Copies of this chain bind each other. A is one copy, B any other.
């Protein structure tokens, strides 16, 4: 899931999600489930929690709630529902993220200043859009085949878009709450705070043989345009770890001085690390007890929790992930290596989103490659696949415009909605981003 609004830029599927005549009843059911899930995620938030913006990169929950509805109103209802009258004309500008063809928009860094409309009014907006959308779908069978296909595709896009904002809503709220000196919780229950304090199992490695492979999306399901076209790549022989790096492993890097030794860091990363005076991951803190012993905690959506050594390390920047890998005598994988190696195992559909704890599960004897706990940094700069085509129209207005100075993440996290990610999915963030669920998996030359 790409960063910030980036989600939106890639929503144009290169192949129709629904060939033939869409099953409108099934789509309506899916629509209701996705939309309801967003509201379930927002339910623990007060109007204040949902309004405040803690940094320019993060958006208020209220804005996520409104913008994901704006997407359906702007691209579906306003175009395909005859005589549609907007819920509130000011919303066209207020909740436009960055679509220049749609017109003016409120500045991103000032989304937190929108105390009006109140949260309740935004929830009414959601309800109104939902009613109209369901009415539209009910009557779609009477439309032409062409229009049916187009609308079904837009709705599929809108739902994928909403799922991306579901994860962002959680990471943005997490950042906001972490800025409070008391580290308050988003949700107070559901965390299986396993008491095991032994280190994660030894790393096992999977080998990749040198040769030409095909990567990218080529099947019939939904995919973003940045996953296409499927194409050949030459991959050198290499090895890739069967699980992400754990908190326990990363803690050793911290305790052995990794943040004060320039030799592990990229030059730009070192300068940034020094300027920010970093000494451990975002959301970690060391507490001294009365006996002088230091205990480590990390901030979670459940508030402060003891640092569990078997959980994957999380909220790392690319610079930290890269420095750790070098310290560990390894390196980050390329996204090609990742996709080729993980492809062996198939996609662990059930794991993703099945975690009710909103925090990465400990890694205890996983049989497979332990995908889906944290997004995993790769060393691949985010770039167009050979033959990549920019999509037409406003929904795809800026395909590819984020393809510079960002790095690809793979795999999905414990906050990614079920059914959203896949093997070819390319998330991406700048090298300094730390507020997403970002960890790493090691690789090494054969």
Contact = CB atoms under 8 A, between A and B. Distances in A.
Interface string A116-160: 101100000000000000000000000000000000000000000
A29 interface: no
Contacts of A403: 266
B265 A401 contact: yes
A114 interface: yes
Interface stretch (A44-52, A239-247, A417-425): A44-52
A182 interface: yes
Nearest to A264: B401
Interface in A30-62: 46-49, 51-52, 54
A431 interface: yes
Interface string A90-127: 10011000101000001000101111101100000000
Interface stretch (A78-86, A173-181, A305-313): A173-181
A386 B211 CA distance: 13
Given A47-B46, A404-B268, A405-B268, A115 B387 contact: no
Contact of A266 (B98, B180, B331, B404): B404
Nearest to A402: B267
B118 A48 contact: yes
B181 A94 contact: yes
A193 interface: no
B236 A46 contact: no
Interface residues of A, number: 64
A287 to B, nearest CB: 16
Nearest to A93: B181
Nearest to A49: B115
Contacts of A397: 263
A231 interface: yes
Nearest to A175: B113
A383 interface: yes
A119 B233 CA distance: 53
Contacts of A222: none
A206 interface: no
B184 A212 contact: no
Contact of A184 (B52, B116, B318, B405): B116
A177 B182 CA distance: 29
A269 interface: yes
Given A267-B401, A403-B266, A113 B176 contact: yes
Contacts of A262: 100
Contacts of A384: 331, 379
B404 A113 contact: no
A401 B319 CA distance: 11
A398 interface: yes
Given A115-B49, A379-B383, A234 B236 contact: no
A445 interface: yes
Contacts of A182: 90, 116
Q: Which 3 A-B pairs give the minimum distances between C-beta atoms? A: A381-B381, A48-B115, A236-B386
12 contacts: A46-B115, A46-B118, A51-B51, A51-B115, A90-B182, A93-B181, A110-B179, A112-B112, A113-B176, A232-B234, A268-B405, A381-B383
Given A46-B118, A51-B51, A52-B112, 6 more contacts: A48-B51, A51-B52, A263-B397, A268-B404, A318-B404, A386-B445
